[in-house]
Structure 1
Amino acid sequence: MAEAAAARRRLFALVALALLAGGAHAWSMAPVARGWLQLLSVAALLALACAVPPPRAWLVGGAFGLGWLGGTFWWLFISMYRYGHLPAWLAALAVALLAALLSVYLALAVALFVRWKRDQLGPDLLLWGGLWLLAELARAQLFTGFPWGAAGYAHVDGPLVALAPWVGVYGIGAVAAGLGLLVQRGLAMPGVLPRLGALAVTGALVLLPTWTGGDFTRARSVLSVTLLQGNVPQDEKFEFSRLPDTLDWHIKALLASRADLVIAPETAIPLLPAQLPPGLWEGLQNHFAQGRTWGLVGVPLGDAEQGYTNSVAGFSAGAAARAPVYRYDKHHLVPFGEFIPPGFRWFVDMMQMPLGDFARGPLVAPSFAVGSERVGPNICYEDLFGEELAARFVDVATAPTVLANVSNIGWFGESVAVDQHLLISRMRTLELQRPMVRATNTGATVAIDHRGVVTHRLAPHVRGVLEAQVQGREGTTPFAWWAGRFGLWPLWALALGAVAVVARRRTSN
């Protein structure tokens, strides 16, 4: 009896430590990337999982996932509580349940690893890397996917990021998982010198990807850009009494730009064109048509018959009279925010938010021509899905030379979501080797070059205008080539193949 109670206490302690290790894993990605901490967190996960009885290993994996994901997107609480007016306990429960649900993939991966591992470094590296990759891919794609906080983002400033144009963020995460296993096995070796030797070898392997670095793309012309950051509080964005001030500031800033391209953030104009004051929309068209500046503006479009879209409208310099306005419609919609999953209408109805069902735009959307450059817009968390952006690069003649993200993170207050989204955008520039400009409501409004370096930055949570320059790029990275044609299926096949090989050899022995 006493032994059973002691075993339960030990199991509880190990699961609690796994929860803390998962929190450290979340911290490795924001407000700055800490690749070393991500590796140590994975090593701690493996050590804890191997210390519990094998049938209970899933508890360790689940606790780690709960700490990781809950610590990553805890700011969803702000949107539901502050702006959705849910009771605090219900908003917190919703975030916890989402994190727990998405942790199931990692819990299963850890359970299978503990069950199938052979305590041989080669097979175990193959097994663990494959299982980790499967867990991340499942979270990225099943049920529309929510891969916010994928492990690879912790390495955006480290040597492993040299792998980005080859295998993307999930490939980096799988390599990091294998390195975490090496750290765990190295620290478990008897004697100080063997441990130091093992860690030195791991460190050398961490640096190895830097030899794969290099440019797959070529420079084109330089664009001057004006990026607007309205800093409109979310609870005032759709308030009728505040709309005149919001519209006035954005319209004046759009008209004042003398850059090649001016960009206003997601729903900078929060009304349909037909709902605007008479002549305002036509005035914008005439201004850009008669000038030398191109404009991209976040605005809802559509009607009750065709459906409404979260869109970007593009105004071309020197356009002919009554020329059609460029239109980009968001393709990857946010669950609960832009579409309501079946069976959850009751939950959305509880929140006092202007939410609803939007229509989806095409996966491969045309770019917006700005002089000789082709600007590829994406809206809010669409830049979380690099494989979907890569689909625009299959035809090299029409592929974007510059990426432009328009976002509104005002739903999440002054939280770490701004820093996390910046890491995401930087990873996309590295995978595709394209610069990206970001015009956001509250931040991060920045310009990023094709190597993930932030070249121009506006302080978050202030109203302001950022003037920047960005150089277009042409050419295709290996990631853009295979992900554009096949999505993430090559990674699925690689992960399943690795796990199947190890599992088969284990059963055959």
Structure 2
Amino acid sequence: MTKAFQTNAPQGRFLGAHLFIAFSAGIMCHFSFAPYQLQWLAPLSIAILFAQLTAFDQLSTKKNFLLGLSFGFGLFSAGLRWVHVSIADYGGLPLPISILLMAILALYLALFPALASAIFGRYRNNHLTHNAIFFSCLWVLAEFVRGKVLTGFPWLLLGYSQTQGLFSQSAAIIGVLGLSLVVVALGCFATNAIKKSKRGLLAVIIIVAFSIGLSRVSTIQTLDKQVDFALVQGNIAQSAKWQQDEMWPTITSYMDLTRHQFTADIIIWPEAAMPAVEAWVSDYLRLMDSAANVNDSAIITGIIGRDDSINHLTLANNIDQVSNQSQQTQYYNALITLGNDQQKQQEQGSYTRNHLNRYYKHQLLPIGEFVPFRSLLQPLAPLFNLPMSSFSRGEWAQPNLTALGYNFAPAICYEIAFPELVRANMRSNTDFLLTVSNDAWFGRSIGPHQHMEIAQMRAIELGRPLIRVTNNGVTAIVNPQGEIEKKLPQFTQSILREKVNLVKGQTYYYQYGQLPVILFSMFFAVAIGLVNRFR
């Protein structure tokens, strides 16, 4: 038996070795996510962690906390190493400071598996099956809480490791947190099986069979009707994105790419493709609206929205003034529709400034789009050199965007990582999921690939084709099974042209969301914890 799975190690002497093994298992776990997608490493890494957590005969909250912290720090420091790219390259901070900030973020996120491990250490017993179920449920609850606390950061949930795996389609029933439960349970029961527990081996077989069975249940039917999309990837350099003298060259570049695509039904530009406040370019937007209308088409584009219902004295003339005025005037990271919104042929386009066919981003990126605890942190904001860090928040649930009579459930950038937010914005008559982003912030790192993987999971959960349009990749079309039908190479200026079939039907996840998995996890975590507490 390997050292990783030893169960009767001395309680103090070799703690350092156990912490190193847990840290290494966390690093190994990040290879189960995109772009590596070695799915089997996720349950294996959990098996190693679980072996460390149960290696001490005496219950120890502190030791288990440190083991969970080591695993989490390994996972997040390796899996989120792309964070320092945006901080160092575009935030203007020196590399050592950006790495330090990334390490602090990783340590914060590691607190959640650490707390799950500590509670497990406090209330576990010597019953192998109970321990496996108990820890699996605690892990899922920790992931759920991580997605809520301090606005939430639900990145690298273990369920995402199975987006292209054998169990992926079961997410249409149990969601990404349900897949996390499957992954952790497999790892825990595999550890029990290695300890020669027949129940552990039987549990592994049952979990695999059950998950495969769930994956075979489908409530989504593909229709013959198709919609012709043109997705525009502008590949605008991030260093030039928010420069005032680059605003019109950027808009012109997108329009030049679009000129020969008006034969498409719907043309989509990425997040903030128009790096301007809507009021600055309203005349140009009306021209685009007319051009789309004449060609029986529609354009969906990212732009900076402004709430004109709020009185203000002056109109900002540049991006810096937008940030300075934002405390008096509300600005939004927005999507709007130009051209024909209700049907293929209309007498005129639908666009007027502040029309209701728009979407305002709800889940804002801390520091990047708003400053949390403003009174405390506002003095630090200039250090990050981020041009648009004072956006206001849109509503949690908003009407679908419409284009040519088709309904889109939108998510801008970071929002796609919040399953319940995307679900709240889907309706029974939603035709497509739409996510737009600007991943140029993360350079040539693994970040954009993880972002793409998360979007694929949303397509599975909600059973709708997903349209993803980005500034520099990954721009792609994803089917309701989470498979990429077509994509553009990263860091190229190009058009993705593809016809996408409509579908009908509703997934169980759309109907019930995360609630069944959360209730299941809470019930068994509390029940087993109480039984062990009073035994």
**TM-score of the pair, normalised by structure 2:** 0.87
- Superposed, 1:55-454 pairs within 5 Å as 55-189=62-196, 202=204, 205-212=207-214, 213-220=216-223, 221-257=225-261, 258-276=263-281, 279-302=283-306, 306-317=329-340, 318=346, 320=348, 323-324=351-352, 325=355, 326-342=357-373, 343-393=376-426, 395-396=427-428, 399-454=429-484
Check the 8 A contact 1:446/1:456 in 2, yes or no: yes
Tell me whether 298-307 or 354-363 shows the greater mean CA deviation: 298-307
Q: In the TM superposition, what whole-angstrom CA distance separates every residue of 1:310-355 from its partner, at most 9, and x where no partner exists? A: 0111113236366535211111111111111102223322111213
Q: Aligned residue for 2:7? A: none
Separation in 1, partners of 2:253, 2:404: 27
- Do 1:160 and 1:207's aligned partners in 2 also have CA atoms closer than 8 Å? no
Q: RMSD in angstroms over aligned alpha carbons? A: 2.2
CA distance in structure 2 between the partners assigned to 1:38 and 1:337 by the alignment: 30
Preserved contact between residue 26 and residue 72 of structure 2 (Cα < 8 Å) = yes
Contact 2:370 2:389 in 1 (8 A): yes
Quick check: 2:290–2:348 contact (8 Å CA) kept in 1? no
Q: Deviations over 1:199-240 (max 9, x none)?
A: 586256324322222321233421110111111121111123
CA shift digits 1:36-65 (9 cap, x unpaired): 100000001111222356231111100100
Deviations 1:482-505 (A, max 9, x none): 12xxxx454433322111110121
Residues 33 and 153 in structure 1, CA contact (< 8 A), matched pair in contact too: no
Shift of residue 92, structure 1, vs aligned partner: 1.1
Moved more, 44-53 or 408-417: 44-53
TM superposition shift of 1:372: 4.5
Rate the CA distance shift 1:474–1:392 in 2: closer, same or farther, 3 A: farther
Report the CA distance shift for 1:51/1:290 in structure 2 as closer, same or farther (over 3 A). Answer: same
Moved more, 323-332 or 68-77: 323-332
Separation in 2, partners of 1:480, 1:32: 29
Deviates more, 1:159-168 or 1:406-415: 159-168
Taking the aligned partners of 1:132 and 1:209, their CA distance within structure 2 comes to 18
1:300 Cα deviation (Å)? 0.7
Call closer, same or farther: CA 1:429–1:500 in 2, change over 3 Å: same
Identity across matched positions, percent:
27
Aligned mates of 1:137, 1:287 — CA distance in 2 = 46
**Does the residue aligned with 1:378 lie in a helix, a strand or coil?**
strand
Question: Which residue does 2:5 correspond to in 1?
Answer: none
* Counterpart position of 1:507: 533
Q: Which moved more, 1:99-108 or 1:468-477?
A: 468-477
Q: 5+ residue gaps in structure 1?
A: 1-5
SS at match of 1:159: coil
Cα offset, 1:123, TM superposition: 1.7
User: Which segment is superposed worse, 450-459 or 199-208?
Assistant: 199-208
Aligned equivalent of 2:41: 37
Please, which of 20, 25, 28 is the counterpart of residue 24 of structure 1?
A: 28
Cα distance in 2 for residues equivalent to 1:344 and 1:251: 39
Structure 2, unaligned runs of 5 or more: 1-9, 308-324, 341-345
Q: Which moved more, 1:223-232 or 1:305-314?
A: 305-314
Contact 1:234 1:410 (8 Å CA) reproduced? yes
Distance 1:263 1:200, change over 3 A: same
Q: How far apart, in 2, do the equivalents of 1:321 and 1:214 lie?
A: 42
TM-score, normalised to structure 1's length?
0.91
For residues 228 and 321 of structure 1, what CA distance do their matches in structure 2 show?
21
Aligned partner (choices 456, 464, 479) of residue 494 of structure 2: 464
Sort the Cα spacing of 1:314 and 1:155 in 2 relative to 1 into closer, same or farther, 3 A. same
User: Following the alignment from structure 1 to structure 2, what is the Cα–Cα distance between the partners of residues 106 and 323?
Assistant: 48
Q: Aligned partners of 1:367 and 1:391: how far apart in 2?
A: 11
Alpha-carbon distance between aligned partners in 1 of 2:508 and 2:366, rounded to the nearest angstrom: 31
User: Take 2:200 and 2:150, find their aligned partners in 1: how far apart are those partners?
Assistant: 40
Aligned-partner SS, 2:14: helix
Letter in 2 for 1:88: L
